[in-house]
């Protein structure tokens, strides 16, 4: 049986990064969100958010759609099925780490 630390090592690093995790959590709670909303909810700068979204898009976890609403350009970001699965697996791995750590016995020092 793998140890909690092995589970910890197997965590998806792409999801584990705090800013990307916040983006994925926000997107998992709604159908889609625009760039401005993610900017506000995550507190990232435009450049950082853009950079994180590019990485998530390259990994196939999100889809970025650019469209016009009236005369206003709006960039919508949507979580893909892979993104939903990756987030689910991430929470499951964290849960395994948590459960594993609970069963650890403290080392006895002589």
Partner 1 sequence: MDRTGLSLVRFVASRYRQLQGLGRVVDAVSLLLLWSLLTTEPANGGPLWFAGAMVVWASLTLWGLARVGRYYRERFGRTASTADSTAGSGSAGEVMLFVWMSMVFGGFFIPLLATYAAHVTWRDWPYRAHWMLLALHGTVFTIAYPGLHSPALFALWNSRFVLTAAPVIALVGLLDHRLLVRAMHRAAEPTPDTEHADTI
Binding positions for partner 1, rule: CB under 8 A: 13-14, 17-19, 21-22, 25-45, 47-48, 51-52, 55, 74, 76
- Residue 26 or residue 100: which is nearer to partner 1 going by CB? 26
Residues in the chain: 110
Q: How far is the CB of 105 from partner 1 (least distance, A)?
A: 26
- Residue 3 or residue 40: which is nearer to partner 1 going by CB? 40
Contacts of 59 by beta carbon, 8 Å cutoff, 6+ apart? 14, 82, 86
Q: How far is the CB of 33 from partner 1 (least distance, A)?
A: 4
Query: For the chain, how far is it from start to end, CA to CA, in angstroms?
Result: 28
Q: How far is the CB of 78 from partner 1 (least distance, A)?
A: 9
- Residue 57 or residue 76: which is nearer to partner 1 going by CB? 76
- Residue 30 or residue 104: which is nearer to partner 1 going by CB? 30
Find, among 93, 94, 20, the residue nearest to 62 by Cα: 20
Residue that is written with structure tokens 């950082």 in the block: 48
50 token code pair: 């853009």
């Amino acid at each position: 049986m793998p140890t909690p630390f092995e589970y910890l090592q197997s965590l998806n690093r792409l999801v584990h990064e705090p800013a990307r995790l916040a983006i994925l959590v926000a997107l998992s709670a709604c159908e889609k969100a625009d760039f401005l909303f993610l900017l506000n909810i995550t507190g990232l700068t435009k450049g950082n958010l853009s950079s994180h979204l590019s990485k998530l898009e390259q990994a196939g976890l999100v889809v970025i759609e650019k469209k016009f609403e009236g005369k206003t350009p709006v960039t919508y970001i949507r979580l893909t099925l892979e993104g939903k699965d990756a987030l689910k697996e991430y929470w499951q791995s964290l849960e395994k780490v948590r459960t594993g750590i609970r069963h650890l016995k403290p080392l006895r020092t002589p």
